[in-house]
Amino acid sequence: MFAFDFTLTFDKISLLFALNVGILGLAAIIASLKYMDIYDFKPKIPYYSTLLIFITSMLLIPAVRDWFSFLFLWEVMTLASYFLIIYDYPEESAKKAGWKYFVTMHLFDTTPLIFAIVLYYAVTGTFNFTSFGQYKDVIVFLMFFGFATKCGLFPLHYWLPDAHPAAPSPVSAILSGAMVELGVYGTIRILDLVGWSVSSWVVYVIGIMAILSMIAAILSYPLQDDVKRLFAWSTIDNMGWMFILIVAGLLGITGVEKDIGYYVVAHGLAKAAAFMSAGALLYVFGTKSLSKMKGFMNSDAFTAGLFAASIFALEGVPPFNLFFNKLNVIKTLLEVSQGLAIFVAVEWVVAFIIFLKIFHAYVISEGEPEVKRKLPASLAFSIVVLLVLSLISQFMCDFIWARW
């Protein structure tokens, strides 16, 4: 009834994804040590064990080589992340976000995935990863649809700006920096199995959804006041970038997996730093609202510095390594379509300008919000480590890629 072999193998691409999960997971656990003090009620949801289950499932997902275990771990990951999102359940908005998240996942993520996987089973007679030809477009499309929901590609993004900010900040960092990226990983895997060749309508759908995600993010950035929502939108934006690379791969560029893997690590580190520094702001000033902490450079320069550095890392400003990856995306796109390359480049610049404005308007502006708590060392340590790593991520990935 269930024909599959359970194996754990790391190849280059899965190693990069697992590395990303591992670093972020460790950083999140360290950051949580002090951070969780802000929840002064006892929610009776076991935080660390749920977090460990969450991280372990994500570490194993890139290692398995059959869709059965993949789906099982995928669902465990969803369940664990759901409990982490509703951790703050006395807050009505966290519960609403949790409901929206889990129901969306079940309807648009699990359901298409299960359907694709059983169809795959019917076609190949096994759950193991193996190349196949029958029902290729349907299976790839259903899988992509499921993964796109997890990644938060437009128009399936609507749960993401609610769910990611609702979780405790170290968890948001993992959600945005590692969990949603696994959707990209899954897409790469299924495309590998069909040799990166599908009907053009699938390519169009992926491309359009990627581009719309970027546009939606650009339009939404200026409207955000909640700093964690701002970063959640940035995740949607970056998902667009990664899927544009996948489109390039589908249009005939070989080796986009490498670019995507590098991008994921660089983005994961920067995004985690950003969410944790948002958590630091929440810890220090007791609010997530940017307008309420205008000019926080004046009251806590260190936290503000970390926050600013994270923003620059996230927007791909050199010397942060996301710069190389963003540049690489444009270079790759130039080979398939000039229009796309120009669009992506313009998007990058516009996003950078918006974030610069945010930096000016809230970080180094007039005002001096009151400091409620001192930034704990463990949280600062996590952010600093993530920022330092995002200065060298390119070399780290090269090291692994050349030697594995």
Task: Tell me which residues touch other proteins (CB under 8 A).
Answer: 1-2, 43-44, 68, 71-72, 75-76, 78-79, 86, 89-90, 95, 98-99, 102-103, 106-107, 111, 114-115, 118-119, 121-122
Q: What is the nearest approach in angstroms of other proteins to the Cβ of residue 7?
A: 19
Nearer to other proteins, 103 or 377 (CB): 103
Distance CA 62, CA 16 (A): 9
**Least distance CB 79 / other proteins (angstroms):** 6
90 vs 255 by CB, closer to other proteins: 90
Q: CB 289 → other proteins: shortest distance, Å? A: 24
The letter for the amino acid at 359 is F
Q: Which is nearer to other proteins, 186 or 207 (CB)?
A: 186
The three-state DSSP-derived secondary structure of the chain is: CCCCCCCECCCHHHHHHHHHHHHHHHHHHHHHHHHHHHCCCCCCCCHHHHHHHHHHHHHHCCCECEHHHHHHHHHHHHHHHHHHHHHHCCCHHHHHHHHHHHHHHHHHHHHHHHHHHHHHHHHHCCCECCCCCCCHHHHHHHHHHHHHHHHCCCCCCCCHHHHHHHCCHHHHHHHHHHHHHHHHHHHHHHHHHCCCCCCHHHHHHHHHHHHHHHHHHHHHHHHCCEHHHHHHHHHHHHHHHHHHHHHHHHCCCCCHHHHHHHHHHHHHHHHHHHHHHHHHHHHHHCCCEHHHHCCCCCCCHHHHHHHHHHHHHHCCCCCCCHHHHHHHHHHHHHHHCHHHHHHHHHHHHHHHHHHHHHHHHHHCCCCCCCCCCCCCHHHHHHHHHHHHHHHHHHHHHHHHHHHC
Q: How far is the CB of 146 from other proteins (least distance, A)?
A: 12
C-beta closer to other proteins: residue 107 or 219: 107
Q: By the 8 A CB rule, do 164 and 175 touch? A: yes
Q: How far is the CB of 149 from other proteins (least distance, A)?
A: 13
Minimum distance from residue 38 beta carbon to other proteins (Å): 18
- Closer CB to other proteins, residue 121 or residue 196? 121
Smallest separation (angstroms) from other proteins to the CB of 288: 21
Picking from 292, 289, 267, 294, the residue whose alpha carbon sits closest to that of residue 278 is 289
Q: Tell the smallest beta-carbon distance from residue 127 to other proteins (Å).
A: 9
Least distance in angstroms from the C-beta of 130 to other proteins: 16
Please identify, using beta-carbon distances, which residue of 38 and 218 lies nearer to other proteins. 38
Nearer to other proteins, 135 or 381 (CB): 135
CB of 89 to other proteins, least distance (A): 4
- Give the whole-angstrom CA distance, residue 365 versus residue 358: 10
Tell me the β-bridge partners of 64: 8
Q: Which is nearer to other proteins, 75 or 226 (CB)?
A: 75
Q: Burial, 28: exposed, middle or buried (Cβ in 10 Å; 0-12, 13-18, 19+)? A: buried
Pick the closer one to other proteins by CB: 95 or 292: 95
Nearer to other proteins, 127 or 324 (CB): 127
